[in-house]
Amino acid sequence: MKTIMITGTSAGIGRATALHFANKGWNVIATMRCPEKETELTKVQNVWVTHLDVENKESIQTVIEQGISKFGEIDVVVNNAGYGAFGIFEAATEEQIQRQFDVNVFGLMRVTKAILPHFRKNRKGVIINVTSEGGRVTYPLFSLYHASKYAVNGFTESLLYELSPFNIRVKIVEPGPTKTEFTGRSRDAIQDTRLTDYSEFEQKINLMYQSLFDPEQIASPELVAGVIYKAAIDPSRQLRYHIGSDLMIEREELNDNEFIGKMAQRFGIDIE
Protein backbone atom coordinates (compact mmCIF):
# COMPACT_ATOMS: atom_id res chain seq x y z
CA MET A 1 0.00 0.00 0.00
CA LYS A 2 1.25 3.45 -0.89
CA THR A 3 1.04 6.36 1.52
CA ILE A 4 0.05 9.96 0.87
CA MET A 5 0.31 12.94 3.21
CA ILE A 6 -2.13 15.80 2.62
CA THR A 7 -2.27 19.20 4.30
CA GLY A 8 -5.51 21.08 4.91
CA THR A 9 -7.91 18.13 5.01
CA SER A 10 -10.55 19.61 7.31
CA ALA A 11 -12.76 20.61 4.37
CA GLY A 12 -13.06 21.10 0.62
CA ILE A 13 -10.41 19.77 -1.74
CA GLY A 14 -8.23 18.39 1.05
CA ARG A 15 -11.02 16.32 2.60
CA ALA A 16 -12.21 15.06 -0.81
CA THR A 17 -8.64 14.09 -1.72
CA ALA A 18 -8.15 12.17 1.53
CA LEU A 19 -11.35 10.20 0.91
CA HIS A 20 -10.50 9.59 -2.75
CA PHE A 21 -7.09 8.11 -2.01
CA ALA A 22 -8.46 6.08 0.90
CA ASN A 23 -11.08 4.60 -1.43
CA LYS A 24 -8.26 3.70 -3.84
CA GLY A 25 -6.60 1.68 -1.08
CA TRP A 26 -3.88 4.14 -0.06
CA ASN A 27 -2.76 4.91 3.46
CA VAL A 28 -3.65 8.55 4.07
CA ILE A 29 -2.00 10.95 6.51
CA ALA A 30 -4.76 13.56 6.75
CA THR A 31 -3.41 16.65 8.47
CA MET A 32 -5.23 19.69 9.82
CA ARG A 33 -4.86 22.32 12.51
CA CYS A 34 -7.72 21.01 14.68
CA PRO A 35 -7.97 17.21 14.34
CA GLU A 36 -9.99 17.01 17.56
CA LYS A 37 -12.94 18.47 15.64
CA GLU A 38 -12.83 15.87 12.86
CA THR A 39 -15.61 13.27 12.81
CA GLU A 40 -15.71 11.86 9.25
CA LEU A 41 -12.14 11.01 8.29
CA THR A 42 -11.44 9.44 11.69
CA LYS A 43 -13.94 6.69 10.81
CA VAL A 44 -12.06 5.62 7.67
CA GLN A 45 -9.84 2.63 8.41
CA ASN A 46 -6.75 3.55 6.41
CA VAL A 47 -6.78 7.28 7.25
CA TRP A 48 -4.66 8.70 10.05
CA VAL A 49 -5.93 12.12 11.14
CA THR A 50 -3.33 14.23 12.89
CA HIS A 51 -2.35 17.79 13.77
CA LEU A 52 -0.18 19.84 11.44
CA ASP A 53 0.13 23.60 11.17
CA VAL A 54 2.07 24.71 8.09
CA GLU A 55 3.15 27.80 10.03
CA ASN A 56 4.88 25.58 12.59
CA LYS A 57 8.06 23.84 11.43
CA GLU A 58 8.15 21.46 14.40
CA SER A 59 4.62 20.15 13.80
CA ILE A 60 5.51 19.39 10.18
CA GLN A 61 8.65 17.46 11.11
CA THR A 62 6.80 15.52 13.80
CA VAL A 63 4.07 14.36 11.42
CA ILE A 64 6.56 13.26 8.77
CA GLU A 65 8.61 11.28 11.28
CA GLN A 66 5.52 9.68 12.80
CA GLY A 67 4.04 8.95 9.37
CA ILE A 68 7.21 7.16 8.23
CA SER A 69 7.29 5.19 11.48
CA LYS A 70 3.64 4.23 11.11
CA PHE A 71 3.52 3.35 7.41
CA GLY A 72 7.16 2.63 6.50
CA GLU A 73 7.49 5.42 3.98
CA ILE A 74 5.62 8.33 2.42
CA ASP A 75 5.19 8.21 -1.36
CA VAL A 76 3.28 11.42 -2.14
CA VAL A 77 2.86 14.79 -0.44
CA VAL A 78 -0.01 17.09 -1.39
CA ASN A 79 0.44 20.71 -0.34
CA ASN A 80 -3.20 21.78 -0.23
CA ALA A 81 -3.50 24.01 2.85
CA GLY A 82 -4.22 27.62 1.96
CA TYR A 83 -6.71 30.46 1.98
CA GLY A 84 -7.44 33.71 0.19
CA ALA A 85 -7.19 37.28 1.45
CA PHE A 86 -9.85 39.39 -0.26
CA GLY A 87 -10.05 43.16 -0.48
CA ILE A 88 -8.32 46.38 -1.45
CA PHE A 89 -4.54 45.98 -1.18
CA GLU A 90 -4.07 49.42 0.36
CA ALA A 91 -6.32 48.34 3.22
CA ALA A 92 -4.27 45.22 4.04
CA THR A 93 -2.38 45.19 7.34
CA GLU A 94 1.22 43.99 7.56
CA GLU A 95 -0.09 40.98 9.49
CA GLN A 96 -2.53 40.06 6.71
CA ILE A 97 0.15 40.37 4.04
CA GLN A 98 2.61 38.29 6.05
CA ARG A 99 0.11 35.55 6.93
CA GLN A 100 -1.11 35.18 3.33
CA PHE A 101 2.43 34.29 2.30
CA ASP A 102 3.25 32.42 5.50
CA VAL A 103 0.45 29.92 4.86
CA ASN A 104 0.20 29.74 1.06
CA VAL A 105 3.91 30.03 0.20
CA PHE A 106 6.24 29.63 3.17
CA GLY A 107 4.08 26.89 4.73
CA LEU A 108 4.16 24.94 1.48
CA MET A 109 7.93 25.41 1.32
CA ARG A 110 8.34 24.18 4.90
CA VAL A 111 6.45 20.96 4.15
CA THR A 112 8.36 20.44 0.91
CA LYS A 113 11.75 21.00 2.52
CA ALA A 114 10.90 18.65 5.39
CA ILE A 115 9.93 15.72 3.12
CA LEU A 116 12.87 16.03 0.69
CA PRO A 117 15.45 14.08 2.75
CA HIS A 118 13.05 11.11 2.84
CA PHE A 119 12.36 11.31 -0.89
CA ARG A 120 16.05 11.70 -1.75
CA LYS A 121 16.96 8.68 0.37
CA ASN A 122 14.32 6.58 -1.41
CA ARG A 123 15.20 8.06 -4.82
CA LYS A 124 11.50 8.54 -5.47
CA GLY A 125 8.50 10.60 -4.42
CA VAL A 126 5.84 12.95 -5.71
CA ILE A 127 5.16 16.50 -4.56
CA ILE A 128 1.82 17.94 -5.66
CA ASN A 129 1.23 21.62 -5.04
CA VAL A 130 -2.39 22.70 -5.27
CA THR A 131 -2.21 26.21 -6.62
CA SER A 132 -5.13 27.70 -8.50
CA GLU A 133 -6.29 29.10 -11.79
CA GLY A 134 -5.47 32.23 -9.79
CA GLY A 135 -1.80 31.41 -10.18
CA ARG A 136 -1.93 32.45 -13.81
CA VAL A 137 -5.17 34.47 -14.08
CA THR A 138 -6.10 37.37 -11.82
CA TYR A 139 -9.37 38.76 -10.46
CA PRO A 140 -10.06 42.13 -8.79
CA LEU A 141 -9.57 42.38 -5.01
CA PHE A 142 -7.48 39.20 -4.74
CA SER A 143 -4.03 40.74 -5.20
CA LEU A 144 -2.46 39.06 -2.15
CA TYR A 145 -3.93 35.67 -2.96
CA HIS A 146 -2.82 35.85 -6.58
CA ALA A 147 0.66 36.96 -5.55
CA SER A 148 0.98 33.89 -3.31
CA LYS A 149 -0.24 31.49 -6.00
CA TYR A 150 2.00 33.01 -8.68
CA ALA A 151 4.89 32.51 -6.25
CA VAL A 152 4.03 28.84 -5.77
CA ASN A 153 3.89 28.31 -9.52
CA GLY A 154 7.36 29.77 -9.99
CA PHE A 155 8.77 27.87 -7.03
CA THR A 156 7.34 24.55 -8.21
CA GLU A 157 8.45 24.86 -11.81
CA SER A 158 12.01 25.70 -10.80
CA LEU A 159 12.05 22.90 -8.22
CA LEU A 160 11.26 20.38 -10.94
CA TYR A 161 14.74 20.82 -12.42
CA GLU A 162 16.72 20.23 -9.24
CA LEU A 163 14.66 17.24 -8.04
CA SER A 164 14.49 15.42 -11.35
CA PRO A 165 17.90 13.68 -10.88
CA PHE A 166 16.50 12.04 -7.73
CA ASN A 167 13.40 10.70 -9.51
CA ILE A 168 11.23 13.05 -7.47
CA ARG A 169 8.31 14.25 -9.56
CA VAL A 170 6.84 17.70 -8.99
CA LYS A 171 3.27 18.55 -10.02
CA ILE A 172 0.99 21.57 -10.02
CA VAL A 173 -2.79 21.13 -9.81
CA GLU A 174 -4.66 24.28 -10.84
CA PRO A 175 -8.37 24.25 -9.93
CA GLY A 176 -10.60 26.96 -11.30
CA PRO A 177 -13.73 28.01 -9.37
CA THR A 178 -14.54 25.13 -7.01
CA LYS A 179 -17.42 24.42 -4.62
CA THR A 180 -15.47 24.84 -1.39
CA GLU A 181 -15.43 27.12 1.65
CA PHE A 182 -13.01 29.47 -0.13
CA THR A 183 -15.54 32.32 0.15
CA GLY A 184 -16.35 31.39 3.75
CA ARG A 185 -13.97 30.41 6.51
CA SER A 186 -11.11 30.05 4.03
CA ARG A 187 -11.25 33.75 3.12
CA ASP A 188 -9.75 36.64 5.05
CA ALA A 189 -11.61 39.91 4.49
CA ILE A 190 -9.39 42.96 4.08
CA GLN A 191 -11.23 46.07 5.26
CA ASP A 192 -10.47 49.67 6.19
CA THR A 193 -13.52 51.92 6.49
CA ARG A 194 -11.30 55.00 6.23
CA LEU A 195 -10.51 54.26 2.58
CA THR A 196 -13.81 55.56 1.23
CA ASP A 197 -12.36 56.31 -2.21
CA TYR A 198 -12.61 52.57 -2.96
CA SER A 199 -16.16 52.07 -1.63
CA GLU A 200 -17.99 52.31 -4.93
CA PHE A 201 -15.48 50.04 -6.67
CA GLU A 202 -15.68 47.41 -3.90
CA GLN A 203 -19.46 47.35 -3.92
CA LYS A 204 -19.53 46.98 -7.68
CA ILE A 205 -17.01 44.13 -7.74
CA ASN A 206 -18.75 42.28 -4.91
CA LEU A 207 -22.02 42.39 -6.82
CA MET A 208 -20.28 41.11 -9.94
CA TYR A 209 -18.85 38.13 -8.05
CA GLN A 210 -22.36 37.10 -7.02
CA SER A 211 -23.47 36.75 -10.64
CA LEU A 212 -20.30 36.15 -12.64
CA PHE A 213 -19.73 32.42 -12.28
CA ASP A 214 -22.05 29.85 -13.81
CA PRO A 215 -22.81 27.20 -11.14
CA GLU A 216 -22.69 24.56 -13.86
CA GLN A 217 -19.04 25.41 -14.57
CA ILE A 218 -17.89 25.28 -10.95
CA ALA A 219 -15.95 22.10 -10.22
CA SER A 220 -16.67 19.87 -7.25
CA PRO A 221 -13.93 19.06 -4.71
CA GLU A 222 -14.35 15.43 -5.74
CA LEU A 223 -13.49 16.27 -9.35
CA VAL A 224 -10.33 18.07 -8.22
CA ALA A 225 -9.44 15.11 -5.98
CA GLY A 226 -9.64 12.84 -9.02
CA VAL A 227 -7.18 15.04 -10.89
CA ILE A 228 -4.82 15.05 -7.90
CA TYR A 229 -4.96 11.25 -7.95
CA LYS A 230 -4.19 11.26 -11.68
CA ALA A 231 -1.18 13.52 -11.05
CA ALA A 232 0.03 11.27 -8.22
CA ILE A 233 0.12 8.12 -10.32
CA ASP A 234 1.23 9.76 -13.57
CA PRO A 235 4.83 8.60 -14.24
CA SER A 236 5.40 11.35 -16.81
CA ARG A 237 7.10 14.69 -16.22
CA GLN A 238 3.88 16.60 -16.88
CA LEU A 239 3.96 19.66 -14.64
CA ARG A 240 0.47 21.22 -14.77
CA TYR A 241 -3.00 19.73 -14.39
CA HIS A 242 -5.78 22.26 -14.88
CA ILE A 243 -9.43 21.89 -13.90
CA GLY A 244 -12.03 24.54 -14.53
CA SER A 245 -13.05 27.40 -16.75
CA ASP A 246 -11.92 28.45 -20.22
CA LEU A 247 -10.03 31.45 -18.83
CA MET A 248 -6.72 29.59 -19.04
CA ILE A 249 -7.26 29.07 -22.76
CA GLU A 250 -7.91 32.79 -23.19
CA ARG A 251 -4.84 33.60 -21.09
CA GLU A 252 -2.66 31.55 -23.43
CA GLU A 253 -4.24 32.72 -26.68
CA LEU A 254 -4.46 36.47 -26.03
CA ASN A 255 -1.74 39.02 -25.39
CA ASP A 256 -1.72 40.90 -22.09
CA ASN A 257 -3.64 43.93 -23.33
CA GLU A 258 -6.34 41.78 -24.92
CA PHE A 259 -6.76 39.50 -21.95
CA ILE A 260 -6.77 42.23 -19.31
CA GLY A 261 -9.23 44.17 -21.43
CA LYS A 262 -11.60 41.21 -21.54
CA MET A 263 -11.32 40.63 -17.79
CA ALA A 264 -11.96 44.31 -17.08
CA GLN A 265 -15.00 44.17 -19.33
CA ARG A 266 -16.36 41.16 -17.43
CA PHE A 267 -16.22 43.16 -14.20
CA GLY A 268 -17.40 46.41 -15.73
CA ILE A 269 -14.09 48.16 -15.03
CA ASP A 270 -12.90 51.03 -17.20
CA ILE A 271 -9.12 50.70 -17.48
CA GLU A 272 -8.63 53.22 -20.31
CA distance 17 to 244: 17
Does residue 8 sit within a domain?
A: yes
Phi, psi of 76 (to 5 degrees): -140, 140
Does residue 203 sit within a domain?
A: no
- Looking at the DSSP assignment, which residues form a beta bridge with residue 30? 6, 49
Which pLDDT score is estimated for 211? Answer: 76
Does residue 154 sit within a domain?
A: yes
* Collapsed DSSP state (helix, strand, coil) of residue 26: coil
Average pLDDT of every residue of the chain? 93
Does residue 86 sit within a domain?
A: yes
CA distance 95 to 253: 37
For residue 223, give its domain range: 3-195+218-246
Does residue 268 sit within a domain?
A: no
Residue 170, pLDDT > 70, answer: yes
Which pLDDT score is estimated for 82? Answer: 95
Which pLDDT score is estimated for 180? Answer: 66
- 91-to-98, 99, 113, 201, 239 alpha-carbon distances in Å: 14, 15, 33, 14, 35
More confident residue, 81 or 207: 81
Which pLDDT score is estimated for 181? Answer: 60
Using one digit for the tens of pLDDT, what is the confidence trace for 40-79? 999 999 999 999 999 999 999 999 999 999 999 999 999 9
Which pLDDT score is estimated for 177? Answer: 83
Residue 105, pLDDT > 80, answer: yes
**Percent of the chain surpassing pLDDT 90:** 86
Name the residues annotated as catalytic: 145
- The number of helices, as runs of H, and strands, as runs of E, in the chain is 9, 9
Helix locations, the chain, DSSP H:
12-23, 57-71, 94-101, 108-122, 143-163, 199-212, 221-233, 247-253, 256-266
CATH code, domain carrying 105: 3.40.50.720
Q: How many domains does the chain have?
A: 1
Does residue 262 sit within a domain?
A: no
Residue 216, pLDDT > 70, answer: no
Which pLDDT score is estimated for 214? Answer: 64
Does residue 26 sit within a domain?
A: yes
Does residue 263 sit within a domain?
A: no
Residue 185, pLDDT > 60, answer: no
